[in-house]
Amino acid sequence: MITRAKQGTYHLGRISFIGLVNKENFVDALRDPVSIEVGDFCWTVTDFQLHNKPKHFLYGKLTKYKPHGSIEVVDTRSHAEKIAEIENTKVASSPFIYLPEYSGIAYLRVWNQIEQPTFVRRFVALVKAKHKDFFVDCDIEAVSDLQVFYKRVADLSAIELIQAKVRPPNPLFGPLWASLKDYLKKRNVGEMKIEERAIGKKLESQLKELISKAEKSEVAKEANPPDITDAALLMATDGYGQGKIHGVYDKKKVVISTSDTIKNFKFDSEPDPAALYDITEEVFKEISQKRHMEHDKKDH
């Protein structure tokens, strides 16, 4: 009888480096990790692997463990039950894989133990703690499932408020927001926050049309670039920031966030790293092709 491997949901994101963090000391933070304590549990990275040829990726597990604990054991000499003290008991671990070519990461959601927001917070905290929080930061931003995101935005009868926070992309950019990428580079911007609120009932935004183009793979560099706020929201859906749309659906106020519609896939919860690379690379490649993303020639 063949037993199928247990599967779980892997979420996609892009990692951005800020301050003194670069790809070299990012690798060091995973290869020689620290441990951090949050409440009753500690967190670290385990089972780290660095692969260069023929596939370039980093693999590891974000591991949650209890520094002190106890279990019931049987003393076979006295035939009695006793309490044994143990240290560093594993509670859960989330396999992850990082593909430098896409600045992309895929990580497993462990139900009720390492949920998606928890993974991001703990992973980022470990990288920062490795460098003692000294002028360093990194973040994992969600890559949105455009089909799901578009359906939610298309249902809005009005958009009242758009908020976005974006950072310069590396190494890929999308043609619909290429003008914003150039603007950030020209002004040497590390992070930009933008917010637009309607006067009256709704904003005059082209987001529905632009997201529809992207979702249907009808993306081309616009002769007339999108307005800056629309471009920032699109940039966030590609994993280079965060965005929120406040609007009206069925006469009710709703908020749609780019982090609510994260692109994901199913795979083994105890994966073979090379096999996890193959499926993750396939998904990121498909995203790049559908959205016509490309490398900035000025950076090569």
Own/partner contacts of 45-52, CB < 8 Å, gap of 24 or more, are 45/126, 46/93, 49/273, 51/273, 51/274, 51/277
Residue pLDDT, tens place only, 212-253: 877 776 655 555 788 999 999 999 999 999 999 999 999 999
Give the 3-state secondary structure of residue 109: coil
Q: In the chain, what is the greatest distance between 2 CA atoms, to the nearest angstrom?
A: 83
Distance CA 187, CA 105 (A): 28
Give the 3-state secondary structure of residue 121: helix
Where do the structural domains in the chain lie, given as residue ranges?
A: 7-64+91-142+262-299, 146-259
Distance CA 265, CA 283 (A): 8
Which run of H or E residues covers position 51?
strand 41-51
Burial track 225-257 (b if 16+ CB lie within 10 A, e otherwise): bbbbbbbbbbbbbbbbbbbbbbbbeeeeeeebb
Distance CA 9, CA 111 (A): 9
Residue pLDDT, tens place only, 154-195: 999 999 999 999 998 877 888 889 899 999 999 999 899 999
42 forms bridges with which residues in the sheet?
37, 65
CA–CA distance from 131 to each of 2, 26, 61, 134, 298 (Å)? 46, 10, 20, 6, 30
Residue pLDDT, tens place only, 69-109: 888 989 899 999 999 888 999 999 999 999 999 999 999 99
